[in-house]
């Protein structure tokens, strides 16, 4: 077998890979990161990476990875700063875009054994005080959202998801992603199971069982097979938020349907529910080690019944 002398001497040059080519290569290198994503999650994931690369190409051009220098990266950062300053975009948006690009470059560099010293450190903007999603008040939920006939004009599946969210605090995508086998209406304690089946969950702590009570039980009974219209469709939040805004159901311009999740947690807190149980119900990471199995379905149902609409 013939061996190139320059390769033996360590003098062979690494084939140049452009930024655009790096993205093509990246899709194959990142398979483990997308395992379990549903089609909508996959679309969002791919588009975020396409957008980051497109932004870099617009500002800097399609350089070879080994030609990227610190000035290029600082120029890209400056471009983002001008957008933050002039267009009202957030530092968080800039940081996500920059970190996405950096992740692509680092993955290709590492997995293709390029051994490049990429100039990608210290590019993030300070995000300062973050905007928090505002909870919808209990009075608002009762007097407006649950007012007789208030949701009549909303399509049936979106309305069902909204009702399930009120007394479970689930993320909208968690409800939309329910498969028939995750819905247990005939159980002694009717409940839903949030499982990493058919889609990826946001965090490992998101896997949980949630009793159905009040309007959430009613909403789920209307859809015992789940919500196929939104199972892999990214339009759910936009659909519900638009309906609520156009029909006077949004408490302010700063609120969104996601505020129902925050309202749910506020009600648990006001009722004096233990931190461990709150974290388990919300699908949050606990700030200490979890001991034992946690609250039973029966116990959780009793707690939710006490704060339910």
The answer to whether residues 165 and 89 belong to one domain is no
Whether residue 241 lies inside any domain: the answer is yes
- Mean pLDDT, rounded, for 22-41: 90
Q: Is 252 left (phi over 0), alpha (psi -120 to 50) or beta?
A: beta
The count of other CB atoms within 10 Å of the CB of residue 86 is 8
- Where is average pLDDT lowest: 2-6, 116-120, 179-183, 227-231? 2-6
Q: What is the pLDDT of residue 13?
A: 58
Pull the structure tokens for residue 72.
């290029």
Checking if the pLDDT of 28 tops 50, the result is yes
Q: What is the DSSP letter of 302?
A: H
Specify if 87 maps to a domain.
yes
What backbone phi and psi angles, to 5 degrees, belong to 114? -75, -25
User: 69 lies in which domain range?
Assistant: 12-111
User: In this prediction, what percent of the chain has a pLDDT beyond 90?
Assistant: 73
pLDDT attached to residue 11? 46
Q: Tens of pLDDT along 245-267?
A: 999 999 998 899 999 999 999 99
- Cα 52 off chain centre by: 18
Out of 30-34, 95-99, 129-133, 263-267, pick the least confident.
129-133
Beta bridge partners of 211: 191
CATH number for the domain spanning 294: value is 1.10.443.10
Q: Tell me, what CATH number does 78's domain have?
A: 1.10.150
Backbone angles phi and psi of 306, in degrees to 5? -75, -15
Identify whether 126 is part of a domain: no
Considering the domain architecture, whether residues 210 and 166 belong to the same structural domain is answered as: yes
Say if residue 99 is in the same domain as residue 171.
no
Q: Say what the pLDDT of residue 16 is.
A: 85
Q: Is residue 268 part of a domain?
A: yes
1 pLDDT above the threshold of 70: no
Query: Which pLDDT score, from 0 to 100, does residue 130 have?
Result: 56
Note the pLDDT tens digit of each residue in 267-288: 999 999 999 999 999 998 887 7
pLDDT surpassing 50 at residue 71: yes
Q: For residue 14, what pLDDT is reported?
A: 56
Give pLDDT tens digits for 107-145. 999 999 999 999 999 999 987 655 567 899 999 999 999
Q: Give the number of other CB atoms < 10 A from CB of residue 192.
A: 23
Evaluate if residue 168 carries a pLDDT over 70: yes
Question: Is pLDDT larger for residue 234 or for residue 309?
Answer: 309
Task: Give me the mean pLDDT over the 220-225 stretch.
Answer: 97
Considering the domain architecture, whether residues 260 and 158 belong to the same structural domain is answered as: yes
Same domain, 99 and 174: no
- The verdict on 58 and 160 lying in the same domain is no
Verify that 170 and 281 share a domain, yes or no: yes
Q: How confident is the model at residue 233 (pLDDT cuts 50, 70, 90)?
A: confident
Instruction: Give the model's pLDDT for residue 183.
Output: 97
Task: Assess whether 95 and 148 both reside in one domain.
Answer: no
Is 122 a domain residue? no
- For residue 93, being part of any structural domain is answered with yes
In a shared domain, residues 99 and 235: no
Mean pLDDT estimate for the chain: 90
> How many domains in the chain?
2
pLDDT of residue 132: 65
What angle, 0 to 180 degrees and rounded to 10, lies between the N-to-C axes of helices 259-270 and 297-307? 100
- Do 281 and 223 belong to one domain? yes
């Amino acid at each position: 077998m013939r061996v190139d002398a320059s390769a033996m001497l360590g003098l062979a040059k690494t084939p140049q890979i452009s930024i655009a080519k790096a993205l093509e290569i990246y899709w194959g290198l990142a398979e483990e990161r997308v395992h379990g994503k549903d089609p909508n999650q996959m679309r969002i994931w791919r588009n975020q990476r396409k957008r980051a690369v497109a932004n870099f190409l617009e500002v800097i051009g399609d350089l070879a990875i080994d030609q990227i220098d610190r000035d290029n990266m600082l120029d890209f950062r400056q471009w983002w700063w001008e957008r933050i300053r002039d267009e009202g975009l957030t530092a968080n948006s800039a940081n996500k875009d920059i970190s996405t690009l950096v992740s692509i470059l680092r993955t290709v560099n590492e997995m293709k054994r390029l051994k490049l010293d990429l100039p990608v450190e210290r590019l993030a903007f300070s995000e300062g005080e973050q905007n928090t999603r505002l909870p919808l008040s209990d009075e608002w939920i009762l007097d407006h959202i649950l007012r007789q006939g208030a949701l009549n004009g909303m399509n049936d599946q979106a309305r069902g998801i909204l009702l399930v969210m009120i007394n479970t605090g689930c993320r909208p995508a968690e409800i939309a992603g329910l498969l028939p086998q995750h819905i247990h209406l005939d159980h002694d304690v009717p409940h839903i199971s949030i499982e990493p089946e058919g889609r990826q969950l946001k965090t490992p702590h998101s896997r949980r069982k949630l009793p159905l009570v009040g309007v959430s039980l009613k909403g789920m009974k209307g859809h015992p097979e789940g919500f196929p219209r939104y199972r892999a469709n990214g339009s759910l939040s936009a659909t519900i938020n638009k309906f609520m805004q156009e029909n006077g159901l949004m408490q302010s311009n700063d609120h969104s349907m996601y505020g129902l999740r925050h309202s749910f947690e506020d009600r648990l807190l006001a009722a004096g529910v233990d931190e461990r149980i709150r974290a388990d119900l919300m699908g949050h990471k606990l700030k200490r080690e979890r001991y034992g199995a946690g609250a039973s379905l029966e116990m959780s149902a009793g707690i939710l019944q006490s704060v339910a609409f």
